[in-house]
Amino acid sequence: MSASIRPISASRASRFVVLAASSLLTAALFLSVAPGTLGALTTEKTTARSNQSNGNAVIGGQPTRVTWEGRVADNEQVKALSLNLPKGSRTAGDDTVNVTVLDGLARLNVEARVVLTDERVAITFAQPVPSGMLLRIEMHDFSLPAKAGDYEMGGSYTDGAGATYDLAAPPNPIRVTGLTTVEAIINWLDRQGWVKAWNSVPFLRIFLNPQMAVAAIPTLFIGWLRSCGLVLVGFPLAIPIGLGVSFLRMAKARWIRFVSGIFVNVIRGTPLFLQIYVVFFGLPALGIRVPEYLLGILVLAVNSSAYLAEIFRAGIQSIPRGQMEAARSLGMTTPTAMFFVIIPQTVRRVIPTATSEFILLYKDTALLAAVGVMEMMMFGKSLVANTGNMTPYIIAACYYLVVTMPLARVISSFERKLAVSEGGA
Amino acid sequence: MRKVLLLALVAVVVAGAVIASGCAQTPKDATAPTDTSTPGSTEETPQFTTLESGKLIVASDCDYPPFIAMEGEQPTGFEYELLQAIGKEMGLTIEYLSPQNFDTILAGVDQGTKMDIGVSSFTITPERTELVDFCDPYFDSNQACVAMKDSGYSAAKDVDGKKVGSQSGTTGSEWVKENLPNATLVEYTQTSDALAALQAGKIEAAFFDEPVAAEQVKKTYTDATIIEAIPTGEQYGFAVSKKNPGLTAAVNNALKAVVENGSYNEIFQKYFDFEPTMGK
């Protein structure tokens, strides 16, 4: 893209203006002045809205919104503006262009005539845009070229004196990505008759939209892995803490029982959601900085440990007292008897309830979305927010069920076995 | 395994059906047209229906001062008072739903079964216009980048590549995605959550509408500041279901009347210390 400034035409301008402009061009060429520094209009940026269903990329060949911004220099005016669109762009007509003129933060009402083709957008202002104004051109339903690459938009403008100059492209081009597999599948679905029929039913369109499902499945898979990570680290951490607390709950010293009782009752007696808020906004206020994901694991682990403590305590206390007495009479110390006689018998009895607790904790990872931990619910929320479609939540529900349903079966089979063995004993 | 998958599928459909039936409760007076023609008015009043006759049910996230905020159970703010004036003009009682999640309001308006109108500082954008109809603009707004006073940042581009926050589904989110491609964006349900996260040091900067940012850093989050006001010139509009064009037209008439009789300006002056661009 040429960075030089040269006159293109000089309608209704005197020979002198052309001469002046040509000498300007010569000066610009020789001094290799930075783009636009001599001009009445400087491009500030060109950007495009992301049109990827499950990401932030700008995909070529798909409708998006392209924004161009430029500023009118001091003591200058701009009468008209023309931007060259990247070769291969597809546009959707003059009324897809929004022209905004801003004086600082104040929006000005301007009249402008817009002509949009696939090659360029030409804007002529009824009144010249005064100096210092920010000029924004937004074009929606705009498909950038399908080929991946960086695209620039140069052009030309007419200043207050009626002379036309080249407009240098902005420093940052628009980065366009090629069609992803997901987008290709969505495009294919868009064209299918049965998809159109399916989506014509509001319930199916909103909750079971095929295109949205395709977009959500890969994104939510990453979220699912993160949710699993939270609980797969959090739950094993909760087990030793819970076991420790259960011992404290059965301690001989009354005050230890009292303190551990407070811990268990406070944690079990308040919503996990509230605990998350207190920890996530409270700890940093004390100047303690812990990475969010780690903090999420810790909150889940501590919360779950209180429930596990009660499960373990009930399990240990359900073992007949005679077992401990018999072990002690064989010469075992109390800890030895606890670890080698009582706890092994407890494990079998607590597995079903502890697994239920695991399921609960896994589902509760969704609460962390409220404080910005990137887990499955958060991924689902941002997809729903971007599209207004509920299908990502349904897909998320499937991902939760993939874990919880088999586990529920495991529990019931365990319980059956337990009933048989205990009944037989 | 196949059995499990089948069960999962059944569960999904059942869950979906339950959610849908929960959302699709049809209000009794859904079809009863509300006659709002005021005696003596010469202008033709567009015919429209509301979910409940005599009421305009409003959905808002109620966490966007000075536009809308909750004082206990009572909504207050510029939008609330403007709607009261519009309601008076239309002969309707304004009824706010309990605070809704911002990112679900437009979908709710589109379904048209729970709310008549979405009023939550919605910027009119072509993308949103595909889903709902917007009434005429009632406020000109911009974006702002908010950071802590001691952060050392001086412009929005300084936080490109950092962790930043916004409210889910807003034009602030869109601005970050489009203009700060290297930033990690965390989208919160409410702006107050984003501001709390900013104070807690979880994010380096937060992006939302400039008038709200100005109010929040002045009144509540005084250790934060606007490091850059980003001129976007966006305009707010009330969102109405596409199935109810009569209501859009009626609200537009009422808004025009409220601007013309001066109550718009009166309410505006109560909340902002600059001149409105409307009604000039």
Indicate the residue of A101, A203, A398 with minimum beta-carbon distance to B20: A203
Residues B68 and B86 in one domain: yes
Residue B105 lies in a domain: yes
3-class SS at A72?
Answer: strand
- CATH number, domain of B220, equals 3.40.190.10
Q: Where are the beta strands (DSSP E) in chain B?
A: 55-59, 63-64, 68-71, 74-76, 93-96, 117-118, 133-134, 139-148, 163-167, 184-188, 205-209, 224-236, 239-240
By CB neighbour count within 10 A (0-12 exposed, 13-18 middle, 19+ buried), where does B42 fall? Answer: exposed
Q: How far lies B148's CA from each of A30, A279, B152, B215, in Å?
A: 46, 21, 8, 15
Per DSSP, the residues of A192-254 read -HHHHHHHTSHHHHHHS-HHHHHHHHHHHHHHHHHHHHHHHHHHHHHHHHHHHHHHHHT-SSH
Q: Would you state the pLDDT for residue B16?
A: 47
Most B CBs within 10 A among A53, A97, A105, hence the mutation to make, goes to A105
Residues B163 and B221 in one domain: yes
Q: Would you state the pLDDT for residue A69?
A: 92
Residue B74 lies in a domain: yes
Complex-level ipTM = 0.77
Residue B11 lies in a domain: no
Residues B243 and B131 in one domain: yes
The number of beta carbons lying within 10 Å of the beta carbon of residue B23 is 16
Most A CBs within 10 A among B101, B128, B177, hence the mutation to make, goes to B177
- Which residues, 6 or more positions from B20, have their beta carbon under 8 angstroms from its beta carbon? A203, A206, A207
Residues B55 and B119 in one domain: yes
Contact B110 A289 (CB under 8 A): no
Q: Would you state the pLDDT for residue B24?
A: 41
Q: Is the pLDDT of residue B69 over 90?
A: yes
In B, which residues are within 8 Å of A102 by CB distance? 231-233
Q: Would you state the pLDDT for residue B107?
A: 86
Alpha-carbon gap, residue A348 to A411, rounded angstroms: 11
Top mean-pLDDT range of A39-43, B21-25, B51-55: B51-55
* Cα angle for residues A318, A321, A326 (degrees, 5° grid): 135
Alpha-carbon gap, residue A78 to A265, rounded angstroms: 71
By CB neighbour count within 10 A (0-12 exposed, 13-18 middle, 19+ buried), where does A75 fall? Answer: exposed
In A, which residues are within 8 Å of B197 by CB distance? 281, 371-372
Alpha-carbon gap, residue B180 to B253, rounded angstroms: 40
Distance (Å) from the C-alpha of residue A150 to the closest C-alpha of chain B? Answer: 14
Indicate the residue of B8, B168, B229 with minimum beta-carbon distance to A385: B168
Residue B30 lies in a domain: no
In A, which residues are within 8 Å of B195 by CB distance? none
Q: Would you state the pLDDT for residue A109?
A: 83
Range of the domain at B77: 51-138+237-280
Top-tier CATH class for A15-19+41-177:
mainly beta
B161: left (phi over 0), alpha (psi -120 to 50) or beta: left
Q: Would you state the pLDDT for residue B6?
A: 56
Residue A213 CA from chain centroid, whole number = 17
Joined tokens for residue A374: 């990137």
Residues B185 and B254 in one domain: no
Residue B34 lies in a domain: no
- How many structural domains is chain B composed of? 2
Q: How confident is the model at residue B73 (pLDDT cuts 50, 70, 90)?
A: confident
Q: Are B182 and B161 in contact (CB under 8 A)?
A: yes
pLDDT digits (tens, 9 = 90+) for A120-169: 999 999 999 999 999 999 999 999 998 899 998 889 999 888 889 998 87
- Residue ranges in chain A whose pLDDT is less than 70: 1-38, 422-425
* Cα angle for residues B99, B102, B105 (degrees, 5° grid): 85
CATH 3.40.120.10 fits A207-424, yes or no: no
Q: Which of B234, B252, B272 is the last residue of a domain?
A: B234
DSSP H or E stretch at residue A58: strand A58-59
Residues B267 and B229 in one domain: no
Distance (Å) from the C-alpha of residue B160 to the closest C-alpha of chain A? Answer: 14
Q: What rounded mean pLDDT belongs to chain B?
A: 86
User: For A31, what's the count of Cα atoms within 13 Å in the CB-facing half-sphere?
Assistant: 12
Whether A207-424 and A15-19+41-177 are alike in CATH topology: the answer is no
In A, which residues are within 8 Å of B19 by CB distance? 207, 390
Residues B117 and B89 in one domain: yes
Residue B29 lies in a domain: no
Domain boundaries, chain A: 15-19+41-177, 207-424
Q: Would you state the pLDDT for residue A170?
A: 78
Residue B173 lies in a domain: yes
Q: Which of B217, B234, B251 is the last residue of a domain?
A: B234
Distance (Å) from the C-alpha of residue B258 to the closest C-alpha of chain A? Answer: 21
Percentage with pLDDT > 90 across chain B: 69
Q: Tell me the average pLDDT across B59-87.
A: 94
Residue B5 lies in a domain: no
Q: What rounded mean pLDDT belongs to chain A?
A: 86
Do β-strands A174-177 and A58-59 pair in parallel, antiparallel, or remain unpaired? parallel
Q: Is the pLDDT of residue B3 over 80?
A: no
Q: Is the pLDDT of residue B249 over 50?
A: yes
Alpha-carbon gap, residue A111 to A410, rounded angstroms: 70
Among A66-70, B46-50, B158-162, the range scoring the smallest mean pLDDT is B46-50
In B, which residues are within 8 Å of A68 by CB distance? none
Q: Is the pLDDT of residue B51 over 80?
A: yes
Q: Is the pLDDT of residue B26 over 80?
A: no
Q: Would you state the pLDDT for residue A61?
A: 87
